[in-house]
């Protein structure tokens, strides 16, 4: 009778080798730190607000909206708000009691802060400087001016009766307010409607405007990207990457600067009422300015 031990030993060795191989295979195809599609989507979305007083999104994740080169555009200026305070080499905070449009706020630098990678322009019901409300405003005059290109802001807008957030541009080289390009305007009691406006002087020096509005989701509930493409031929407004308005006439050809603010009250939005909850915050993820790829900066 033949000895079965060598054959059994051979089978045992083959079985052990197969087990080791399968373990090695699963180690390769199943990374320890892999994200499920649901977890990845969760990380890409904005986090829920935690502060009981002022809304503050959590820190940005590296995979969120990186400032990378777009195929047709070269990035020439940006602020991602990754520092602990407002970059005063890029922005000037406003400090005055606004006198236009019968508005009710005092623009106070203390109402501007950076937290967890986001800029907050906060509006409060409080007495200061002869006003009953304070708010925040920043502008880039004398620090960053440009002519032609693409301007982009990603932000969550504040809502409420009498609350009036805006992102706009003013002429850099003269003491005048025309032309003015309003990339975003929203009256807080209609948070689903965004206004896009070009104000200018007509041939007689009187105010003339091209404008439209777009109705979509409640723009105070989540972050959205608002952009303007400015060339010698046209102005094109887009929201979340979709064109919503354009004009091809009377295009400004001078350098302009950036301005972001929340006004309170005034002729258009009206005054806050009992339904308006303060404080409210205009939360901005980033500002980015591009020029056409391959073109020299004007």
Query: Which sequence positions are flagged as catalytic?
Result: 180, 185
CB 284 within 8 A of CB 138: no
167 forms beta bridges with 184, 260
Task: Return d(Cα 298, Cα 290) in angstroms, integer.
Answer: 11
Number of H-type helices and E-type strands within the chain: 2, 19
């Amino acid at each position: 009778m033949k000895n079965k031990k060598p054959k059994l030993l051979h089978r045992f060795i083959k079985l052990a080798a197969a087990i080791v191989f399968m373990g090695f295979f699963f180690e390769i195809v199943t990374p320890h730190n892999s994200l499920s599609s649901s977890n990845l989507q969760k990380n890409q979305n904005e986090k829920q607000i935690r502060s009981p007083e002022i809304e503050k999104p959590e820190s940005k994740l590296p995979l969120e909206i990186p400032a990378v080169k777009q195929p047709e555009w070269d990035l020439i200026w940006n602020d991602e708000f990754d520092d602990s305070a407002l970059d005063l080499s890029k922005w000037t905070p406003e400090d005055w009691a606004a006198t236009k449009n019968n508005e009710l706020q005092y623009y106070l630098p203390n109402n501007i802060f950076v937290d967890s990678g986001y800029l907050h322009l906060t509006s409060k019901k409080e007495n200061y400087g002869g006003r009953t409300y304070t708010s925040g405003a920043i502008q880039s005059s004398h620090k960053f001016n440009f002519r032609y290109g693409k301007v982009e802001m990603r932000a969550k807008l504040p809502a409420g009766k009498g609350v009036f957030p805006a992102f706009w541009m003013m002429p850099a080289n003269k003491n005048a307010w025309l032309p003015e390009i309003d990339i975003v305007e929203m009256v807080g009691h209609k948070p689903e409607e965004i206004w896009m406006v070009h104000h200018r002087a007509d041939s007689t020096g009187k105010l003339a405007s091209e404008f439209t509005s777009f109705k979509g989701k409640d723009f105070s509930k989540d972050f959205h990207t608002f952009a303007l493409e400015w060339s010698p031929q046209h102005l094109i407004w887009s929201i979340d990457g979709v064109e919503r308005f354009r004009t091809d006439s009377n295009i400004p050809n001078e350098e302009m600067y950036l301005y972001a603010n929340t006004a309170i009250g005034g002729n258009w939005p009206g005054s806050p009422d009992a339904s308006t909850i303060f404080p409210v915050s205009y939360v901005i993820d980033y500002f980015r300015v591009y020029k056409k790829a391959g073109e020299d900066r004007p």
